[in-house]
Amino acid sequence: MKLFLLAFAAVAAMLPAHAEGWIRHNQLGYLPHATKVAVYMGDTAPESFQLIDAYTGKIVFESAAKPTGPLGRMAATARLDFSPFQTPGAYKIRTADAESETFPIGPQVYDGTADFVLNYMRQQRCGYNPFLRDSCHTKDAIIIYHPTKTGQHLDVRGGWHDASDCLQYVTTTANAIYQMAYAYERNPKAFGDAFRADGTPGANGIPDIVDEIRWGLDWLDRMNPEPGEFYNQLADDRDHVGMRRPPEDQADYGWGKGGARPVYYCTGEPQQQGRHGGVNKTTGKASIVGKYASAFSIGSRVLAPYYPELAARIREKAADAWETGLKYPGFHQTASVVSPYIYEETNWVDDMELAGVEMYRLTGDRKFLLEAVEYGRQEPVTPWMGADSARHYQWYPFMNMGHAHLAAQGREEFVRNLRSGIARVWDRAQGSPFLFGVPGTWCSNNLTAALLSQCILYRQITGDRTYEEMEGALRDWLLGCNPWGVSMIVELPKGGVYPTQPHSFIINYKLGNTTGGLVDGPVYDTIFGSLLGVNTEGGINYERFQPGRLVYHDSTHDYSTNEPTMDGTASLTFPL
């Protein structure tokens, strides 16, 4: 599908310094029948606003502004709702002291965007990397924590680097696979074929997203070499030795610089956290193997027409992963050796719920469905929804896809669960000029993308449009209608304002940008101030626009707000 990207000049944040007001809007544009809201920020809240045809200069729509109070250094803000206007074209918004840049309204504004974010997934490939046209980490890996195989070699080449380091986790990889597979099953015609299986340009008769799903599943298959033998992590934070091209990785894990990396066996018991003798809070295996089961199940269906051998193999493995989850309930956190930072997941029934749903879809056996329902009842709402804070990846995945599947079957209690989570964030969002109620935890953009998907699915399942305005606000937030006027998806749109200095070796080595990557997004200023090694030196600080508790910086030294993540990017393939 041809990518529909209009080249726009810098918006909002780049207006002349003497401007008294700024207008934030979705830089990519608006669908004709969707909610369409921009936000004014400045000295004096406007009483009204006008929508201007960018080609004729004529006023095509006028309406009253909705004042929403001060925000950070802004004395006034207001919501500018032009949803009733549906005529395709190119437009600007004007108030008494501000004018937006041009943006489109049209049915094709999102065409090609789901394929666009796959650019970043290809950049993140480990093993052969098509972006670099080179290979990395070809010696992976040496087993650790296994009761009998520790010290042995296990071939686990491939997969994706998790973010701008070279670490790899089943937690995020399995979720990324599931998100892409679900997006493809729901809307296969949204995805094109412009790249080969190895990620290099050229069609191969297979949708590019299916090739990407296969790349992830091949690695996940390697991480489960035998029945009951599951690994959850490849490498650890000894990786953090500075920015470098992955093929030139000189991290030393005890087998020499640039040597093999450790692969962590999933023990179901606490493993190391940091250098001071601490351990994580692992209680079981279900959070990991549940993700294996759901990714293998949906992946086997998606791959079957194109990669039948791998599809058949992982189909068989899905059942073993499910049985392992039944045997070892609880969550499995990641490990660290140097710093205290890990993925601190503390829930697991959501993983087993989704696994049960997918096992039912795979086999038709209702016992899996009934068990999925029982697991789902143990966590009606994903706990971050409505919360003010959370630990890093504490409740993950950030949206419970199992609830959506069960709600789609007409199960009212799960419809209610979806609605309750959305309503809690809706309540937090009241009073925000951006109708934004997502907490400022690390990777808040990932939470935003997850809630956007939940809003879309709830509306599609029920026909209830109560939260449609917030659904639009979440999408618009990711695409520039936020206090900083920054699209959080790199180079989308190409002519807009987006991260120019994300935390990545690609920037350090002047290799381009992390095209298509979703950056972490804003965090609470208290989180930013507490992290080790972050700063904004040489970046764009957006000091004038920081809204108070939240901060965002376009700086390669800020890994808390400006680092792209693989799983967050993959989660965009459905809502885009």
For 20-55, write each residue's pLDDT tens digit: 899 999 999 999 999 999 999 999 999 999 999 999
> For residue 380, with 0-12 CB atoms within 10 Å meaning exposed, 13-18 middle and 19 or more buried, which class applies?
middle
* Mean pLDDT, rounded, for 447-456: 98
Q: For residue range 475-529, what is the model confidence (pLDDT) as tens digits?
A: 999 999 999 999 999 999 999 999 999 999 999 999 999 999 999 999 999 999 9
Q: Please give the Cα distance from 428 to 449 (Å, whole number).
A: 17
How does strand 262-265 pair with strand 142-144? parallel
* Mean pLDDT, rounded, for 230-257: 95
pLDDT grade for 1, boundaries at 50, 70 and 90: very low
Residues 6+ apart with CB under 8 A from 109: 4, 28, 29, 30, 31
Residue extent(s) of CATH 1.50.10.10 domains in the chain: 113-347
* Helix, coil or strand: residue 450: helix
- Position 15 scores a pLDDT of 37
How does strand 89-94 pair with strand 103-105? antiparallel
* Mean pLDDT, rounded, for 127-143: 97
* Helix, coil or strand: residue 370: helix
pLDDT at 16 over 90: no
pLDDT grade for 535, boundaries at 50, 70 and 90: confident
Q: Please give the Cα distance from 538 to 167 (Å, whole number).
A: 26
Q: Which of 67-71, 183-187, 275-279, 569-573 has the lowest mean pLDDT?
A: 275-279
φ/ψ of 456, rounded to 5, equals: -60, -50
Q: Which of 350, 345, 330, 446 is nearest to 405 (CA)?
A: 350
204 within 8 A of 193, measured Cβ to Cβ? yes
* Mean pLDDT, rounded, for 406-416: 97
pLDDT grade for 532, boundaries at 50, 70 and 90: confident
Q: For residue range 300-328, what is the model confidence (pLDDT) as tens digits?
A: 999 999 999 999 999 999 999 999 999 99
pLDDT at 297 over 70: yes
* Mean pLDDT, rounded, for 91-117: 97
- Position 533 scores a pLDDT of 84
CATH of domain 12-105: 2.60.40.10
Q: Which of 299, 290, 475 is nearest to 375 (CA)?
A: 290
pLDDT grade for 7, boundaries at 50, 70 and 90: very low
Average pLDDT, the chain: 95
pLDDT at 19 over 80: no
Residue extent(s) of CATH 2.60.40.10 domains in the chain: 12-105
- Position 11 scores a pLDDT of 34
* Mean pLDDT, rounded, for 394-413: 97
How does strand 59-64 pair with strand 103-105? unpaired
- Position 430 scores a pLDDT of 96
Q: Quote the percentage of the chain above a pLDDT of 70.
A: 97
pLDDT at 14 over 60: no
- Beta strand extents in 95-240 (DSSP E only): 103-105, 128-129, 134-135, 142-144, 168-169, 231-234
**Which residue bears the tokens 């109708």?**
435
Within the chain, what is the greatest distance between any pair of CA atoms? 76
> For residue 84, with 0-12 CB atoms within 10 Å meaning exposed, 13-18 middle and 19 or more buried, which class applies?
exposed
pLDDT at 71 over 90: yes
Q: Which of 281, 278, 277 is nearest to 268 (CA)?
A: 281
φ/ψ of 475, rounded to 5, equals: -65, -45
SS3 content of the chain, % helix, strand, coil (to 5): 35, 15, 50
Q: Please give the Cα distance from 220 to 305 (Å, whole number).
A: 19
Q: Please give the Cα distance from 465 to 458 (Å, whole number).
A: 9
Q: Count Cβ atoms below 10 Å from residue 256 Cβ, excluding itself.
A: 10
- Position 290 scores a pLDDT of 98
Residues 6+ apart with CB under 8 A from 278: 272, 340
- Position 13 scores a pLDDT of 37
Q: State if pTM tops 0.85.
A: yes
446 within 8 A of 398, measured Cβ to Cβ? yes
CATH architecture under which domain 113-347 falls: Alpha/alpha barrel (1.50)
